[in-house]
Structure 1
């Protein structure tokens, strides 16, 4: 990693329905719209997930990268929604559809990473006519037990610290040399965001231990006829590649690309391949 993904990236607040979202945009609004939906994790935001890709994708698309509701600098409902991840996933999908309204967009392609993939699938279920093609990268939603690494993410707030963050971050990648000598600096920056009371509240509400995760049945996926690109890192330790196989097997119009030497952060470890495949898929 070199420069911070937030360098030179400015966001603005947009009222999306009943909730305020921090939104980062790039590219010509006259081009096809692509909504980039980041995943979960303590301290995550749209810039940390997509900042380095926005200028590249903006060459072909109007890119919209919001901090998802309950993450980053977007609104954190207080009190947080009850009902755990399923209820919060639906609320987050509704807020993204409301964001399209606020931006005057009838339709957009969705690119969902990890939890963002589940939010994307929920948005398709809620308003299929508002969603164009979908890209699911390292997506959740498959009936697969959580890995030990994912459980470390889920339970981060049992003993939160910069050291715990430095232990967590390398689990997202195949080769932790990606961090070079900046792991401590990156962990400290991300922990500063994760240590906010509103971020903690939203995380704990999302991963309520009394409520199960979001899992899409074979029948639910079979009813989604959107063209779909499923991208998964072969060495993903958070959501194993079997999750990608499950989604690609049951989405009727899905194609699957498994990338070697990549963990959960395909968009960082295999950025050029991710961009090339996404660009080809969304423009074919």
Structure 2
């Protein structure tokens, strides 16, 4: 679970809600087999409504960063502050790492290769981590759902997750952008571009870090995000 280290630290000063999006993790699968950014954004808004949250801080990682951008653009009044970490959301050339992640087919060897793509420090990839993620990927319906989300050719899904640059320029929120310098999944250039586009953005780049900022620099990440969300 990508947020297992960050959640308890952030929960010391914030209410933390970590949903599985439709089709991911242990969430329900789409009854009609259809997945789209529009449906995921609607789910996020529906969750906020169900919990009685008129406004929230939103932290989006990777694919979730693209959804966080869409949410901020479509419903700016529902967002207080925005955190984007290794975020998609602008157009870029599909990386071999992202292509491998989206094309994952269940096996222990394939999961081990995917984990190596995510992390800069491969010593963090223990057999327990590989096995737990592999077992999650073979839950009933999990692979069928994942395969339906981003079938080849996959460049089109990068574009489907991208928001128009003029809409990104209009985002009014204080925004913290975080990226791992050695990220092989989402290029650092994405965050550089987002920092250029969003008027009230700040950017923090971690060296010796892949796509797992919240794991590889867990303490620093939690302090940075907590300070950003709680500053006056």
TM-score tier by shorter-chain length is over 0.9
Following superposition, the deviation at residue 78 of structure 1 comes to 2.1
- Would the aligned equivalents of 2:73 and 2:168 in 1 still touch at CA under 8 Å? no
Deviation at 1:216, TM superposition (A): 2.2
Q: Give unpaired runs (5+ residues) of structure 2.
A: none
Looking at structure 2, the residues matched to 174 and 187 of structure 1 have their Cα atoms a distance apart, in angstroms, of 16
The match for 1:273 among 201, 205, 220 is 220
1:173 alignment partner in structure 2: 119
How far off is 1:185 after superposition? 2.7
Say which SS state the counterpart of residue 229 (structure 1) adopts: strand
Q: Please name the residue that 1:52 is paired with.
A: 5
Deviation per CA, 1:123-146, whole angstroms, max 9, x where unpaired? 112211111100000001222111
Matches within 5 A, 1:30-179: 48-81=1-34, 88-157=36-105, 160-179=106-125
TM-score by length of 2: 0.93
Equivalent-residue separation in structure 1 for 2:209 and 2:225 (angstroms)? 16
Q: Distance in 1 between matches of 2:42 and 2:144?
A: 20
2:165 to 209, 218, 225: 218
**Are residues 1:208 and 2:151 paired?**
yes
Aligned match of 1:26:
none
Quote the offset at 1:178 in angstroms.
Answer: 1.6
Q: Higher helix share goes to which structure? A: 2
- Contact 2:22–2:43 (8 Å) recurs in 1: yes
Regions of 4+ moved over 4 Å:
none
Residue 208 (structure 2) pairs with residue 261 (structure 1):
yes
- Cα shift at 1:205: 2.2
Greater share of strand: 1
Cα deviation 1:203-239 (Å, max 9, x = unaligned):
1222033643212232121121111100001111111
Q: 2:197 aligns with which of 250, 253, 257?
A: 250
Gaps of 5+ in 1: 1-47, 83-87
**Which structure is higher in RCO with an 8 Å CA cutoff and minimum separation 6?**
2
